[in-house]
Amino acid sequence: MAKVKINSISELESYGKNIKDFSDKYEVETNALYRNFTDKAGNDSKGAAVNAYFKKLNTIQSQIFSQLPSAIKKYGEVVTTYVSEIRATEFVDKCYSSYTGANDLSSLLKGAQTNDIFNLSKDLDEAFKQAADAMGNSPYNTEGDLNKATTDLENAATKRIEKDEAVQEAYSKFTKNLEDETVTIKSFQDILNNAICFSDIPSSAIFQAIANGHLTATQMYYLNIPKTKEDAQALKAIISDKPGDVLKVDPNKISEQMYAVIANEQNDWTLAENNEMWQHFVNALGDYSVERNDIFTNGILKAEDALAQILMLQMYQLYEDNHKSTLPENATPEQIEEYEEKMKNYQILYDSYQSELNAINSNTGLMYSLQVLEIGTSVESKFFENRRTMEYYYYKKVAEVELNNGQFNIKTDKGFFQFDVNTIQTAYQQRELKPTDKDYTWGEYNEYTATTEYSDFGMEASEYSERLEGLRKERQKAHDDFNNSILQAVAETGISFIPFGSTALSVVKTLGAVSDGFKGNEFQSNGTDAIKSARDDYKSFYKKTTGQDIPDTKFDKLWDHWSKLSSGISDGVKAINTYNSAISQIDQQTSEARNDFMEKILDYGGWDLSENGKSTIANGRFGQYYDFNAILRVKELNKLGLKGYINNATNLTENDLDAAINKTFTEEDKQAYSDVIAYARGKETALKLQDMSPEQLEKFTTIVKNLGRDGMSGLGDYFDKEYQIEEVKPYGAK
């Protein structure tokens, strides 16, 4: 970046004028390139997507051809305005000013110099008197000269202060305005980068994606994401009919936001049970090393985790508002109709959220399975001293997948190829060797099922190897960082709205920006577009679900209500984080109570990879499966203990809880576990589920087992009735 050095006011004036001249010439040149993109594409979904694409083109043109030169010109005007204000203070070409210098000079003029003149005046008066006496004349009085000199000095001091204040004020305004305009111009850097990368995606590729249904109007914000050529290449691939081409892009150079776009597209494949797209992607994994594929699949898993956190926050907000909605006593027919309509639309939203969460869980289960199965290529070597030979063993594992009602059937085949190096020539050949499918010997065929039906058998995926444990730690750090960014966004921006559906991706982007130092203005700017897209997203889902368009009058009334749901978003974020902490703590414990609690009380799901006809070979829960129902169960337990269950049960009273506690503890143990007893009773205590030690959790679980005739199953049935959201089929599932 060039450094500009200004030595005089005239040079500063020339600098400002040159900037304004550049802005004018830039605008003239770019105006010749401006095109207004319009199309009568119709009102169907593809027509809406075409119009959204043209809107994107027009927006980019406006930003680069109009808004950017205006910002540059304003920067130049700030400079020339400053020059005018400095010259108004009577500085011509050089200006020196400081508060300290001005005050020191003022003190000198009003103080020391005035005193010197006064003393001189007294001395002169005495001398004049002596001279007048000697000559017999009247003495000359210097009082008038003294007063004039004193006044002139005081005026000079005042003028110096005023001039300095004018210069300082002009400088302060100049630096503030210059800083503001510099920030504005810098904000165009991302826009310029996006425009450059966006232009690398041919319009023909965009139109083909629209025609094939891979890019809708509500997904057009995907085009705002690429800021690098790698992101542009990834986007072009993932919206094409050959999504596996996304693996040609260096996975280390794909941004977090683009991984979120890729994950969202894959979730759409799952929602639509699009096996063709899934198969093309999985086929491509076989052409790259296991290590490279790990980077890519872990990028997807981190993005899915962020999307799931936002989705569960949305669900929590919706649940809280729905929970507060009641039908007034003696309601009028109009109130009844309005209430029923609101409940109907709540159910539509719930179904949508749960369907999306199901897709995320299915997709994460597949990604974990592909990591466990080590899909891709690998090479090992072994040296034999007696033969002076290095044997290289090449492996290639490929997979076919078929999605059926949310679970993936996976078929794998593994090939083997050996190459021996014992001469200089074979050593050179090995360095250049790239085995083809024909070189491998195939035949290690297996079939697996990746499902969201959790099984206690088998090992956690991360227990298989240091490699998988390293991938888990990387995901955990990303999870923690993202949760912190949400908390920071709530604190710093006053965010009060999380948009609906796929638009959540833009929130992921914005939250990332907040964590990088952007404040409220950045969020509000992105938030406006997000809310607009959210409205369109919901209308589209409503029509898909009901087969009807929602009337604008009805929608506006409902939307006015929904858009205020998140006034308690901070509480929602805290609830989600508490849930994450609680589940993580329980999931790490090894006691029998852990399984009882996770399965029978929280009914927490998970993913499972099994070899057909055999037992589970890998599974996972926390951070690998997202269960909104468990959030609500944790929330109630931390607030009410077992009180809610007892108050709603027809066959239980406080006496039954007393009996269960007495059966669980000796009198001595009651003192040691007083916090657990208080927690079970719903009394005020600092102990929360996430804070319990394995021993405390086991004691609490034992209380539940000893409670009445039904024990664990009774509490599980209560939670099912209170909080269970039914599993819904993906869109398009038969």
Cα 310 off chain centre by: 9
Q: Distance (Å, rounded) from C-alpha 216 to C-alpha 658?
A: 59
Q: How confident is the model at residue 350 (pLDDT cuts 50, 70, 90)?
A: confident
User: Tokens 């111009």 map to which residue?
Assistant: 185
8-state DSSP, 111: I
What kind and span of H or E run contains 436? none
**29 or 69: which leads in pLDDT:** 69
Greatest Cα-to-Cα distance within the chain, rounded to the nearest angstrom = 139
Cα 131 off chain centre by: 92
For residue range 88-108, what is the model confidence (pLDDT) as tens digits?
766 655 655 444 433 433 343
Question: Which pLDDT score is estimated for 521?
Answer: 41
120, pLDDT greater than 70: no
Q: How confident is the model at residue 684 (pLDDT cuts 50, 70, 90)?
A: confident
For residue range 163-221, what is the model confidence (pLDDT) as tens digits?
666 667 666 776 777 777 777 777 777 778 888 887 888 888 988 998 888 888 878 88
For residue range 444-501, what is the model confidence (pLDDT) as tens digits?
999 999 988 776 655 555 556 788 889 988 998 888 888 777 766 655 544 444 554 4
Is-contact 452 361, C-beta < 8 A? yes
- Residues in a beta bridge with 448: 410, 611
What value does the mean pLDDT take over residues 515-534?
45
First vs last C-alpha separation in the chain: 59
Amino acid at 565: L
671, pLDDT greater than 50: yes
Report which of 464, 476, 484, 471 is spatially closest to residue 619, judged by C-alpha positions.
Answer: 464
Q: Distance (Å, rounded) from C-alpha 197 to C-alpha 568?
A: 39
**522 or 301: which leads in pLDDT:** 301
What value does the mean pLDDT take over residues 540-563?
64
Sequence-ordered list of residues with C-beta below 8 angstroms from that of 196, at least 6 positions apart, any chain: none
Q: How far is CA 624 from CA 309, 311, 584, 729, in A?
A: 12, 15, 11, 20
